[in-house]
Amino acid sequence: MKLVKRFNNFLDTSVNINDDRLKTLDDRVQAIDSFLSGAPVIGDIFIETIPQGSLAHRTIIKPLPGHEFDADILLHVEPRSDWSAKDYIEELYKAFRTSGIYKDRVTRKSRCVRVQYAGDCHVDVVPFIERLEGSYYITNRNEGDEGLYEQTDPLAYNEWLDMQSKITKGNLIKAIRLMKWLRDYKVTFTCRSVILNILLAERVNNVYLVQDEDYYSDVPTTLVHLLEDLVEYLKPYSTMPLIADPACPGVDYNHRWDEAQYLNFRSKIEFYAQRARAAYDEADLNQSIKLWQDLFGTGFGDLPTKSLATLGSVFSGSQLRKADPGEQFIEDQFTLAPSPFTVKIYARTLKKDGYRVYDLPKRGNRVESNRQVQFTARTNVPGEYEVHWKVKNRGKWIVANKCYRGEITKGSLIHIEPTKYRGNHYVECYIVRNNVVVARAKQSVIIL
């Protein structure tokens, strides 16, 4: 059985990192940004810091006891012609060592300077340089006498992963979190998160939706399909396949793996795919829960402690739905019908003194508060149509300030919104023709 509500509850209670930890992490990242912008030497070439890795991809998971969670941030700096690749990390380390706050918290790694915090968190600061127009590099201080420049394009990678996630209605990111949790919980295979992300995200394919529109309809369905598709992909490879960077041609991650680790991973993924399929297909509720627990442990299986009714539910026909005060739903206003047409949302910050302009997907859909974001809808719907927008705020800060939003308004292809309240929010766009929704899209917005 799918057990969608139980999966969502398992994610909320056991897998997803809690919001207070994220708030603390964001505060630490912003403090590092503020320090480095005025630090000796580094401050002279400082451009900005950019969230990267699990922080940008929203794949951070709650650490198991004895484990840490971490954040990667890129330190975008101007290139220095008199510096070698190694110098960027050395000078960054020296800058941190001038601070009473960071002096005893920093260590040098191959590609970063790590800031260690008490408890279960560290932040890796990675020097990031544009050496030629459009060509980006990080540095490795342990390769050769002067270090090595390693080509990469993490902003394009962020955008690619966001695009793949949108195909699955966000379920890809949740499936990645589940697989990272399974890796850490079972400890039966070794796989760097970046490799796991690529192997799973590359399996996402729009063609499957043409064959089955429910192929990525919910978390368990997406998880089972991704595992099975990964098994099929790996079958021909008796040795490690190329783990290419999807955003930077010619770059790969094979150096972060070895043959023994790959072969073990291949075997375990096939085993877990079979287990997941058996649990998914099992018709008996109790037996299905038991089979899912074989994968995820006894923490899986509980329903949310609060019923939908206690959370402010409304009925739409026979469908029970969670709603906040004033929230509206497009299906209550227009007819929904299958359609060959599409709409895409492009989100970009507007200019503000002291801040850079950027596309949200390149920064993991993260944006500072007190900015303005322009959402531009692009659609292939022909003829005349109406454009409607919905902005939904979520999180405890929204509850405290009673600013839920969620109303649906008629507008144009361009919609501008201010950013105010911290949390994970979203914007939806609907293209309506003859009172029928013929295309819709959703854009995540994470306000810091």
Give 354's pLDDT tier (boundaries 50, 70, 90): confident
77-80: which pairs have CB atoms within 8 A and are 24 or more residues apart?
A: 77/42, 77/45, 77/46, 77/47, 77/127, 77/128, 77/129, 78/45, 78/47, 78/129, 79/45, 79/129, 79/130, 79/131, 80/45
Which pLDDT score, from 0 to 100, does residue 306 have?
Answer: 56
Residue 312 has pLDDT above 70, yes or no: no
Which pLDDT score, from 0 to 100, does residue 114 have?
Answer: 97
Give 134's pLDDT tier (boundaries 50, 70, 90): confident
Give 398's pLDDT tier (boundaries 50, 70, 90): low
- Pick the most confident of 85-99, 148-162, 401-415: 85-99
- Pick the most confident of 148-162, 266-280, 304-318, 346-360: 266-280
Residue 105 has pLDDT above 90, yes or no: yes
Share of the chain above pLDDT 70, in %: 94
Give 313's pLDDT tier (boundaries 50, 70, 90): very low
- Pick the most confident of 114-123, 269-278, 352-361: 269-278
* Residue 99, number of CB atoms within 10 A of its CB: 16
Which pLDDT score, from 0 to 100, does residue 432 have?
Answer: 97
All structural domains of the chain with their residue ranges = 4-152, 157-296, 312-447
Which pLDDT score, from 0 to 100, does residue 319 have?
Answer: 43
- Name the pTM for this structure: 0.86
User: In angstroms, rounded to a whole number, what is the distance separating the alpha carbons of residues 171 and 442?
Assistant: 13
Least confident of 41-45, 382-386, 444-448: 444-448
Query: What's the chain's average pLDDT?
Result: 92
Share of the chain above pLDDT 90, in %: 79
Least confident of 24-28, 263-267, 304-308, 347-351: 304-308
Q: Judge whether 4-152 and 312-447 match in fold.
A: no
Which pLDDT score, from 0 to 100, does residue 397 have?
Answer: 64
- pLDDT tens-digit readout, 268-301: 999 999 999 999 999 999 999 999 999 999 999 9
User: In angstroms, rounded to a whole number, what is the distance separating the alpha carbons of residues 13 and 299?
Assistant: 9
Which pLDDT score, from 0 to 100, does residue 79 have?
Answer: 96
CA distances from 7 to 10, 57, 168, 302 (A): 5, 20, 16, 9
298-307: which pairs have CB atoms within 8 A and are 24 or more residues apart?
A: 299/10, 299/13, 299/14, 300/6, 300/7, 300/10, 300/14, 301/3, 301/6, 301/10, 302/6, 302/9, 302/10, 302/13, 303/5, 303/6, 303/9, 304/5, 304/8, 304/9, 304/12
| C-alpha dihedral, 73 to 369 to 25 to 4, nearest 10° | -100
CATH of domain 312-447: 2.60.40.10
Give 309's pLDDT tier (boundaries 50, 70, 90): very low
Average pLDDT over residues 256-263: 96
CA distances from 77 to 8, 41, 90, 131 (A): 40, 11, 14, 10
- pLDDT tens-digit readout, 168-224: 999 999 999 999 999 999 999 999 999 999 999 999 999 999 899 999 999 999 999
Residue 318 has pLDDT above 50, yes or no: no
Class of domain 4-152: alpha beta
Residue 407 has pLDDT above 90, yes or no: yes
Which of 41, 99, 51, 45 has the alpha carbon at shortest distance from 72?
Answer: 51
Residue 59 has pLDDT above 80, yes or no: yes
